[in-house]
Structure 1
Amino acid sequence: MLPTDSTWKGIRRLRRRPGRYEIDEIDESTTSTRAASVRSDATSVAEYLDELPDDRRGDLEAVRASILAAIPSGVVETLNWGMISFEIPLERYPDTYNSQPLLFAELANQKRHMAVYLHCIYADPTIRQDFENEYAASGKPMDIGKSCVRFTRLERLPLDAIERAVRRMSVEEYIAAYEASRRRS
């Protein structure tokens, strides 16, 4: 017997197999996007910022300014992966596993929050722990994922801790940490 709840919304055709049904075709236009991120078709950082809702634009611009003030020489700001990326260009380091620039940090507007992806602190467990301790000491609510710091308002983010974390690792140190992690895997 087929379930009748909303989990089956979007299924166009099922194949019956002995004792079970298999999904054969899904209509993507009707499936839920509840967990999806906000998609941007912007082609530049300025365009990306212009299409943000007013209540988030100022917050993301402030975080962006802090990161730009702290990033080491050799890291460039671009729009990549649908978000603002601070990356080491392929001209500087071409030997990445996916032939894409090596990400140092990113900044994104998501559906229910904004996020700062600090790849630079995840390369060194000591720097990450120091960042988390400083964040906790700030008294601001900490919402840290495996690779990001989520926030809903600028007031909930310790910008000084973000800036210090970004400053702590040079491009050379980051590349060395990246190469060491690739050798381990």
Structure 2
Amino acid sequence: MNIEAKTVNEYLSKLPEDRKAAVTNLRDTVKENLPKGFKECINYKMIGFVVPHSIYPAGYHCDTKLPLPFINIASQKNFVALYHSGIYANTDLYDWFVAEYPKHIKTKLDMGKSCIRFKKMENIPFDLIAELCQKMTVQDWVALYEKNVKR
């Protein structure tokens, strides 16, 4: 499901009715819990939270015109996804999240390398997502990104 939108509000307005509340709540949870410095935007046709060029002028190595991505939220065909680059790049953070998830939600975790998939909107652990968002600052993410990219 590709949603063509130039702004976050436009993205949210184009969501199917059964996804609007969950995606809005997920976005609000991320926005309210991320440390200062991340910027919200549309990134890769999704809601994105990025490190802006004003903080990290080098940008994203795949396309330096783009800011460094950190978290994205998307409504896909069969699920809502939260993409968290920190989980992908930091095995301790990944292990923490995997261990904590069953304490919040009884269903099995559906997760890829950075993608957490929610097929049922009532199974989004907003409190756990809030805690996850608080675990990495902009400076932490830039340092980890540079360490991993400059290998």
The TM-score range, normalised by the shorter chain, is: over 0.9
Match of 2:98 in 1: 132
Moved over 4 A (4+): none
> What's the offset of the Cα at 1:91?
1.6
Which residue of 36, 53, 64 maps to 1:90? 53
Mapped contact 1:59–1:153 kept (Cα < 8 A) = no
Q: Do residues 176 (structure 1) and 151 (structure 2) align? A: no
Task: Return the letter of the residue paired with 1:165.
Answer: L
Mapped contact 1:39–1:82 kept (Cα < 8 A) = yes
Mapped contact 2:87–2:114 kept (Cα < 8 A) = no
Separation of aligned partners in 2, 1:136 and 1:168:
19
Q: Deviations over 1:27-56 (max 9, x none)?
A: xxxxxxxxxxx1122111011100111100
Please provide the CA RMSD for this pair.
1.2
Report percent identity of matched pairs: 35
Match of 1:141 in 2: 108
Q: Do residues 156 (structure 1) and 123 (structure 2) align? A: yes
Query: Could you tell me the TM-score, scaled by structure 2's length?
Result: 0.92
Mapped contact 1:140–1:157 kept (Cα < 8 A) = no
Mapped contact 1:70–1:164 kept (Cα < 8 A) = yes
Q: Report the structure number with the largest CA radius of gyration.
A: 1
Unaligned runs of 5+ in 1: 1-37
Separation of aligned partners in 2, 1:141 and 1:67:
22
Higher relative contact order (CA 8 A, sep 6+): 2
Describe the SS at the equivalent of 2:108.
coil
Mapped contact 2:5–2:11 kept (Cα < 8 A) = yes
Q: Which deviates more from structure 2 when the two are superposed, residues 96-105 or residues 75-84? A: 96-105
Unaligned runs of 5+ in 2: none
Number of equivalenced pairs:
147
Mapped contact 1:121–1:165 kept (Cα < 8 A) = no
Mapped contact 2:38–2:49 kept (Cα < 8 A) = yes
Match of 1:105 in 2: 71
Separation of aligned partners in 2, 1:113 and 1:158:
14
